[in-house]
């Protein structure tokens, strides 16, 4: 092996693995990237349907505060304005009520744009507006910090019911994918702080919503693979890594993988596990099969296996108006491609996206996607409930196209959650990345990308230190 140029195996071709592979290649390492599935992108991927517009495994939203994801896309040559529709913070319901940043305030610096949205929220009384302003000012004074065991429901207990329904619940569910009664207030406050007070990627304000105008594959997976292949990195889809162990000399890691039923193996200077938490735990276990666990590794596996998950379902459909007043297309506000919905046990969707507008398709018939966080995993019951919700809240008759239920969409972001760290003491050359790895963010694309990049930086620094010691 070339000692000056470490050979790194990255296991998992989701956004964390792709970001890690790009970072490692950029920093001069030789990279082999393994992905178990035939498709790249993991939980943010395009489904191969053969139809003219490919559907994703789930509708995703980015925000301007996703600085590392947006920088990665730009590095890969993705034209951001063409790939993402930027719109001001908007949590408006079909009746026009809720938060929406007016056009004239959209150029104001953060958090003044959010202030305008709060002061002009439709359907809110002055008690609602002032209640929210008082609470956000108090959170800001306390440095957006709170006790680790608080839930979002506890943090927001004094807020008026309208603010809870129109803002806290949709924001909590969309950012943490965990209902306020079970969601971590600390993580919620961190998200709020970064979107209100943080920095946005150049050209974007942090709270700005960025809605994909192309399929998810076009945002990172496809351009990342092209970028990697141009620079000599190996990218192997359909290769499931099955085991991991130290080589007899103890200086390298040997990886076994299965591709088309054939088991192969090779040695690497270092391994980055960017697969799911369950798979990473299984592979860490395999590394200790001969020797028995170290306490550190046993703790790591316990944390990874102890994560609980929340589902997300996406219901793709064509919407037909039923309103008695006639008209040929369902009503949709001109300045947004996303509407919040009143959700309940019988009407489970929290959001509906206008895919016709986002993807530049014909507006009739209208193509839409309903998003249901913490969804029931019974598809037919879910589809029936969404059809009823569309009829009662939007006056639409739905023609269902496809429903994708991701049972383990994100980890449940609960108070006091212990997330596994990116490395284990005494286990050189083995690092871990993924949205679930210890960090300040909930399970997001930005969390995944940052984790992949930071793990590579840690791994290469560790290699550098080892080389210095060996000299």
Ligand X SMILES: Cc1cc2nc3c(=O)[nH]c(=O)nc-3n(C[C@H](O)[C@H](O)[C@H](O)COP(=O)(O)OP(=O)(O)OC[C@H]3O[C@@H](n4cnc5c(N)ncnc54)[C@H](O)[C@@H]3O)c2cc1C
CB of 427 to ligand X, least distance (A): 18
Among the listed ranges 42-50, 185-193, 357-365, 458-466, the one in contact with ligand X (CB under 6 A) is 42-50
Distance CA(440)–CA(438), nearest Å, equals 7
- CB nearer to ligand X: pick between 315 and 424: 315
Q: Does 434 bind ligand X (CB under 6 A)?
A: yes
User: Taking CB under 6 A as the rule, which mask of x and - marks residues 141-160 in contact with ligand X?
Assistant: --------------------
- Please list every residue from 341 through 360 that binds ligand X, using CB under 6 A: none
CB of 180 to ligand X, least distance (A): 18
Q: Does 448 bind ligand X (CB under 6 A)?
A: yes
CB of 47 to ligand X, least distance (A): 11
Tell me the site size for ligand X, rule CB under 6 A.
Answer: 36
**Candidate residues 9, 10, 29, 36; the one interacting with ligand X per rule CB under 6 A:** 36
CB of 147 to ligand X, least distance (A): 26
Among the listed ranges 81-89, 145-153, 201-209, 438-446, the one in contact with ligand X (CB under 6 A) is 438-446
- CB nearer to ligand X: pick between 275 and 368: 275
- Please list every residue from 52 through 111 that binds ligand X, using CB under 6 A: 57-58, 60-61
CB of 90 to ligand X, least distance (A): 15
> In terms of Cα–Cα distance, which of 269, 222, 216, 226 is closest to 246?
269
Q: Does 310 bind ligand X (CB under 6 A)?
A: no
Strands 234-237 and 209-212, how do they pair? unpaired
**Candidate residues 172, 279, 369, 386; the one interacting with ligand X per rule CB under 6 A:** 279
- Please list every residue from 186 through 245 that binds ligand X, using CB under 6 A: 240-241
- CB nearer to ligand X: pick between 189 and 372: 372
Looking at residue 178, the DSSP 8-state letter turns out to be S
H/E stretch holding 402 reads: strand 396-411
CB of 436 to ligand X, least distance (A): 7
- CB nearer to ligand X: pick between 210 and 460: 210
Distance CA(50)–CA(265), nearest Å, equals 34
Query: Contact, 196 vs 426, CB < 8 A?
Result: no
Among the listed ranges 15-23, 93-101, 126-134, 155-163, the one in contact with ligand X (CB under 6 A) is 15-23
CB of 68 to ligand X, least distance (A): 12
CB of 183 to ligand X, least distance (A): 15
Q: Does 435 bind ligand X (CB under 6 A)?
A: yes
Q: Does 410 bind ligand X (CB under 6 A)?
A: yes
**Candidate residues 34, 93, 351, 353; the one interacting with ligand X per rule CB under 6 A:** 34
Q: Does 379 bind ligand X (CB under 6 A)?
A: no
CB of 182 to ligand X, least distance (A): 18
- CB nearer to ligand X: pick between 124 and 441: 441
Q: Does 429 bind ligand X (CB under 6 A)?
A: no
Q: Does 11 bind ligand X (CB under 6 A)?
A: yes
Q: Does 409 bind ligand X (CB under 6 A)?
A: yes
CB of 61 to ligand X, least distance (A): 4
Beta-carbon contacts of residue 381 (< 8 Å; ≥ 6 apart):
none
Q: List residues binding ligand X (CB under 6 A).
A: 11-17, 34-37, 42-44, 57-58, 60-61, 240-241, 274-276, 279, 312, 314, 406, 409-410, 434-435, 443-446, 448
């Amino acid at each position: 092996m070339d000692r000056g140029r470490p050979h790194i195996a990255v296991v998992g071709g989701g956004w964390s693995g792709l970001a890690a592979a790009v970072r490692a290649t950029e920093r001069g390492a030789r990279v082999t990237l393994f992905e178990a599935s035939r498709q790249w992108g993991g939980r943010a991927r395009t489904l191969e349907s053969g139809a003219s517009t490919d559907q994703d495994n789930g509708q995703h939203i980015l925000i301007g505060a996703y600085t590392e994801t947006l920088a990665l896309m730009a590095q890969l040559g993705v034209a951001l304005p063409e790939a993402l529709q930027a719109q001001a913070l908007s949590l408006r319901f079909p009746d026009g009520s809720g938060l929406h940043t007016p056009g004239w305030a959209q150029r104001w610096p953060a958090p003044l744009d959010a202030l305008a949205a709060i002061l002009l929220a439709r359907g809110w009384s002055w008690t609602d507006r002032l209640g929210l302003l008082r609470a956000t000012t108090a959170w800001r004074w306390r440095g957006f910090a709170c006790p680790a065991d608080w839930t979002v429901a506890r943090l927001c207990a004094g807020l008026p019911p309208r603010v809870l329904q129109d803002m806290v619940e949709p924001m909590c569910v969309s950012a943490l994918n965990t209902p306020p009664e079970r969601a971590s207030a600390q993580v919620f406050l961190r998200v709020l702080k970064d979107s209100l007070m943080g920095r946005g990627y150049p050209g974007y304000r942090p709270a700005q919503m960025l809605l994909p105008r192309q399929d998810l594959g076009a945002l990172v997976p496809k351009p990342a693979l092209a970028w990697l292949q141009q620079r000599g990195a190996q990218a192997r889809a359909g290769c499931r890594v099955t085991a991991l162990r130290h080589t007899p000399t103890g200086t390298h890691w040997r990886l076994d993988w299965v591709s088309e039923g054939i088991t192969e193996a090779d040695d690497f200077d270092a391994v980055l596990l960017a697969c799911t938490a369950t798979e990473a735990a299984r592979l860490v276990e395999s590394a200790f099969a001969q020797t028995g666990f170290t306490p550190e590794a046993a703790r790591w596996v316990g944390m990874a296996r102890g994560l609980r998950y929340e589902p997300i379902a996406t219901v793709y459909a064509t919407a037909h108006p039923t309103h008695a007043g006639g008209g040929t297309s369902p009503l949709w506000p001109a300045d947004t491609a996303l509407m919040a919905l009143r959700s309940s046990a019988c009407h489970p969707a929290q959001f509906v996206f206008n895919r016709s507008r986002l993807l530049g398709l014909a507006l009739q018939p209208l193509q839409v996607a309903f998003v249901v966080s913490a969804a029931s995993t019974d598809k037919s019951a879910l589809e029936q409930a969404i059809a009823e919700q569309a009829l009662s809240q939007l006056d639409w008759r739905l023609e269902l196209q496809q429903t994708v239920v991701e049972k383990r969409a994100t980890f449940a972001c609960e108070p006091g959650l212990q997330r596994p760290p990116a490395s284990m003491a005494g286990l050189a050359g083995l690092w871990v990345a993924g949205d679930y790895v210890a960090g300040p963010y909930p399970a997001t694309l930005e969390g995944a990308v940052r984790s992949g990049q930071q793990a590579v930086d840690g791994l290469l620094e560790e290699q550098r230190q080892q080389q210095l010691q060996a000299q």
